[in-house]
């Protein structure tokens, strides 16, 4: 229908009748939505592998009572737990944890839709005693039964292998040695019948890479240094075992890593002390032997001033030598690739030296850069760009320190030369002293120097020994890893809840959409707000519950029905529109609105009042009147208008007295020209002389314009709508017709109204029966 097909009307008000009709027409869609979503939820839960989660809460802590006693800062005591968290997340630690679990062999049960990976469950277990060919990893090895024996079947290097063996025995082949333990033979045979059982050897590194995605490490409280370690997998036991193994591996690895550096320093100090002990003993023996052999008295009698001067110079020389020794230690440490702990251990060595201020800052900065690199190495590979940048910064720091060391070496050596020159000057004064006293003094000085070195190293060893002995890992498991009885995904209550919510929402949305876009005329009150003021409502025809293939004459067969009474009401209302109505034209917007049914039964009810009525079918494109009387359409109006026959040849009688009809006749190629020609007016004039009332079955004016002109020629044009079929915008065509001045007395009829909605249904529904 031109100009109206795409027009949409939105219902903004609330009408309970429309809502009931929308629910009645669409309830099955809502039921289908609930059924579809419910089935989808059931299948999703049925064939989705459940995911179980195990959690544990650990506290990362360590204490060093020795460092507290000595008021010594321990490098291992840190405020942040970032390094420990990254260690927990690292692939290295996860591989260590996986190596402690029985994952050398995986067990599977393959069903029709899903393959279940079993861990510590099922009726059998395979232990790998020896894998002789590593290429067998990840190859399925199938298990079945035959005559109370196990059948092992697999393909390797394009060759099929099959072995038979007794259960619970060691099976030795050219590729592997295994032991298959069957816990329940009958249960195993049943499982082998229902599923395809198989196992495969694993590469632990590959397994670790596959399983690492389920690990989660989350800091809970930085101040309390607590961390939650959780793992998700399709096996509750596997999740619990992995969390337990990761925690234990971390505790052991973390403790060993922190003690290793301190042990290396103690070993170095012990080695130096061993060498210095021998030198000190030798110097003491030299002094003792010299005194005994030469019988030298105590050198206190030497000149007090010369002795004090020389002693002061010796002390300065010792201080410089000690400074040079420390500088050599720092330089030697920086030649290699020291870790952060080794660099930090240099700080106590330079404390008290004259160059402490210039060197201490640089060493601390180097320690911080190395520590950053070590922290980052837990997260990324050595080829990472950030690692390269940190290594470059480390080299720059080391270069700066080496420059400072070079400068310090030069100044210290220059000062040492000056001191030594002054010492030689003072010693020249001793040339006048007895030679034996001078030799004794030299040996005594060597002894004192060795004693000072020995005391210094002994103090360092005591400090580090107490610190290392006082260190203890205080990591704790606050919550033991849980064994989940219910999966964390999918959650049945959540899935079914979401299903009900979505089904309900979509159903309500569908009903709301259908209600808002409900565009059909439902009852007479709808027409009142749609038709123009100059158009009247002639009445309503109830819907006939019995379906008809073709429109038929009902009023004569069921004169006491509600439909018959409705047509009597139309007949009465016609007399109010115009007295002595002779011509009536019935039209509609589109085909299927029931105008043929209205024409036949309106003609029948008028004929039953004693008048001669003629029905003329003008819908030459889709004729139907002849079908209502079970006659052929071989001759009719098209033949008459084309002057192929006369009036008396096309008029046919019916079983109802006073009612006749003219069918449309053969479908012509030019129905518009026939209806608009002079021949049509002449035929109508002739028929008016023969019949009291003539009712025309017009073509739908919404599809063709043939019948619009006829509406202006008849006494009462009737425009038909059909309830729950005609669209509301069909009234636009009626408005166009009503605006034509030649068309008068146009009235509308609403067809197929629900019985309880019509006036007659309300008032006489209990009296009249169909």
Predicted confidence (pLDDT) per residue in 278-307, tens digit: 887 887 777 777 666 655 555 554 455 667
Determine phi and psi for 76, rounding to 5 degrees.
-75, -15
Integer distance in angstroms from the first to the last C-alpha of the chain?
Answer: 36
- Dump strand ranges (E) for 436-569: 471-473, 476-479, 536-542
Contact 613, 705 (CB under 8 A): no
In what order do the strands lie in the sheet containing 52-59? 215-221, 226-233, 52-59, 476-479
Distances (CA, A) of 331 to 327, 328, 408, 411: 6, 5, 11, 16
Measured between alpha carbons, how far is 621 from 669 in angstroms, rounded to an integer? 9
The DSSP 8-state label assigned to residue 522 in this structure reads: -
- Cα-trace Rg, the chain: 55
pLDDT at 456: 82
The two structure tokens encoding residue 652: 């046919």
Measured between alpha carbons, how far is 696 from 586 in angstroms, rounded to an integer? 6
Measured between alpha carbons, how far is 301 from 33 in angstroms, rounded to an integer? 117
Contact 696, 583 (CB under 8 A): yes
Select from 554, 448, 516, 539 the least CA-distant residue to 761: 539
Determine phi and psi for 173, rounding to 5 degrees.
-130, 180
pLDDT at 167: 86
Reported for 420-423, long-range contacts at CB under 8 A and 24+ positions apart, including other chains, are 420/317, 422/313, 423/310, 423/313, 423/314, 423/317
Measured between alpha carbons, how far is 268 from 609 in angstroms, rounded to an integer? 132
Using the CB atoms, write b or e for 181-209: b if 16+ within 10 Å.
ebeeeeebeebbeebbbbbbbbeeeebbe
Using the CB atoms, write b or e for 311-323: b if 16+ within 10 Å.
eebbebbbbbbbb
pLDDT at 318: 82
Measured between alpha carbons, how far is 297 from 417 in angstroms, rounded to an integer? 32
Contact 317, 422 (CB under 8 A): no
Measured between alpha carbons, how far is 626 from 618 in angstroms, rounded to an integer? 12
Contact 150, 165 (CB under 8 A): yes
Measured between alpha carbons, how far is 472 from 481 in angstroms, rounded to an integer? 24
Measured between alpha carbons, how far is 397 from 369 in angstroms, rounded to an integer? 9
Measured between alpha carbons, how far is 667 from 620 in angstroms, rounded to an integer? 6
The DSSP 8-state label assigned to residue 727 in this structure reads: B
In what order do the strands lie in the sheet containing 196-201? 115-118, 105-110, 196-201, 141-146, 149-156, 159-165
CB contact set of 113 (below 8 Å; sequence gap of 6+): 47
Measured between alpha carbons, how far is 584 from 574 in angstroms, rounded to an integer? 10
Measured between alpha carbons, how far is 725 from 722 in angstroms, rounded to an integer? 5
The two structure tokens encoding residue 98: 């996986």
Q: Crossing angle for the helix pair 304-335 and 340-350, nearest 10 degrees?
A: 170
Select from 269, 267, 266, 259 the least CA-distant residue to 471: 259
Measured between alpha carbons, how far is 359 from 355 in angstroms, rounded to an integer? 6
Low-confidence ranges of the chain (pLDDT < 70): 1-10, 12, 62-79, 258, 260-262, 290-306, 352-356, 429-440, 466-473, 703, 705-707, 741, 756-770
Measured between alpha carbons, how far is 505 from 202 in angstroms, rounded to an integer? 49
Distance of CA 428 to the CA centre of its chain: 91
């Amino acid at each position: 229908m031109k100009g109206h097909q795409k027009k949409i009307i939105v219902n903004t008000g609330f009408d309970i009748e429309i809502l009931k009709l929308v629910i009645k027409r669409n309830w099955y869609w809502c039921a289908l939505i609930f059924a579809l979503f419910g089935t989808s939820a059931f299948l999703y839960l049925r064939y989705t592998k459940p995911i179980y989660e195990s959690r544990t809460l650990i506290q990362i802590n360590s204490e060093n009572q020795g460092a507290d006693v000595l008021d010594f800062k321990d490098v291992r005591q840190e405020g942040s737990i970032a390094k420990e968290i990254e260690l927990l997340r690292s692939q290295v630690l996860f591989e260590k944890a996986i190596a402690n679990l029985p994952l050398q062999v995986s067990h599977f049960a393959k069903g029709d839709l899903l393959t279940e990976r079993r861990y510590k469950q099922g009726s059998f277990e395979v232990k790998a005693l020896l894998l002789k060919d590593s290429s067998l990893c990840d190859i399925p090895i199938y298990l079945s039964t035959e005559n109370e024996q196990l059948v092992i079947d697999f393909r390797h290097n394009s060759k099929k292998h099959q072995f038979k063996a007794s259960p619970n025995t060691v099976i030795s082949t050219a590729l592997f040695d295994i032991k298959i333990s069957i816990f329940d033979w009958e249960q195993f045979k049943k499982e082998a019948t229902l599923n395809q059982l198989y196992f495969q050897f694993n590469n632990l590194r590959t397994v670790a890479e596959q399983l690492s995605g389920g690990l989660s490490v989350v800091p809970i409280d930085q101040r309390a240094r607590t961390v939650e370690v959780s793992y998700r997998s399709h096996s509750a036991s596997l999740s619990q075992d992995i969390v337990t193994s990761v925690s234990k591996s971390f505790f052991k690895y973390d403790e060993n890593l922190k003690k290793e550096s301190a042990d290396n320093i103690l070993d170095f100090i012990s080695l130096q002390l061993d060498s210095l002990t021998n030198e000190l003993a030798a110097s003491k023996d030299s002094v003792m032997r010299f005194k005994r052999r030469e019988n030298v008295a105590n050198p206190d009698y030497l000149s007090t001033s010369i002795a004090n001067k020389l002693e002061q110079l010796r002390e300065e020389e010792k201080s410089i030598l000690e400074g040079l020794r420390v500088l050599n230690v720092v330089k030697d440490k920086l030649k290699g690739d020291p870790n952060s702990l080794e660099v930090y251990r240099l700080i106590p060595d330079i404390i008290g030296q004259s160059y402490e201020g210039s060197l201490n800052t640089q060493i601390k900065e180097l320690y911080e850069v190395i520590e950053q690199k070590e922290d980052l190495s837990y997260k990324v590979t050595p080829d990472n760009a950030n690692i390269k940048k940190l290594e470059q910064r480390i080299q720059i720091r080391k270069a700066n320190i080496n420059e400072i060391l070079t400068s310090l070496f030069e100044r210290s050596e220059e000062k040492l030369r000056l001191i030594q020159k002054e010492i030689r000057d003072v010693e020249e004064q001793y040339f006048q002293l007895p030679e034996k006293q001078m030799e004794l003094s030299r040996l005594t000085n060597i002894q004192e120097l060795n004693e000072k070195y020995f005391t210094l190293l002994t103090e360092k060893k005591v400090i580090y020994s107490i610190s290392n002995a006082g260190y203890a890992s205080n990591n704790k498991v606050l919550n033991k890893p849980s064994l989940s009885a219910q999966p964390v995904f999918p959650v049945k209550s959540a899935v079914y809840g979401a299903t009900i919510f979505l089904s309900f929402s979509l159903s309500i949305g569908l009903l709301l959409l259908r209600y808002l876009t409900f565009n059909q005329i439902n009852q007479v009150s709808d027409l009142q707000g749609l038709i123009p003021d100059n158009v009247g409502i002639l009445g309503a025809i109830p819907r006939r519950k019995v379906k008809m293939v073709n429109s038929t004459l009902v009023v004569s067969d069921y004169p006491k029905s509600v439909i018959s009474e409705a047509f009597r009401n139309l007949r009465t209302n016609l007399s109010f529109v115009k007295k002595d109505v002779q011509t009536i034209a019935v039209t509609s917007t589109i085909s299927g609105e029931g105008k043929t049914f209205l024409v036949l039964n309106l003609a029948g009810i008028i004929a039953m009042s004693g008048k001669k009525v003629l029905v003329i079918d003008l819908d030459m494109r889709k004729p139907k009147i002849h079908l209502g009387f079970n006659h052929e359409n071989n001759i009719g109006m098209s033949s008459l208008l084309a002057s192929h026959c006369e009036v008396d040849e096309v008029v046919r009688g019916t079983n109802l007295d006073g009612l006749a009809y003219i069918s449309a006749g053969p479908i012509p190629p030019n129905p518009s020209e026939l209806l608009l020609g002079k021949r049509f007016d002449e035929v109508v004039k002739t028929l008016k002389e023969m019949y009291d009332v003539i009712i025309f079955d017009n073509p739908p004016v919404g599809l063709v314009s043939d019948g619009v002109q006829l509406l202006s020629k008849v006494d009462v044009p009737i425009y038909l709508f059909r309830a729950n079929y005609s669209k509301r915008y069909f009234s636009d065509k009626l408005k166009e017709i009503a605006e034509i001045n030649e068309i008068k007395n146009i009235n509308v009829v609403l067809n197929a109204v629900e019985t309880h909605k019509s006036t007659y249904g309300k008032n006489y529904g209990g009296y009249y029966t169909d």
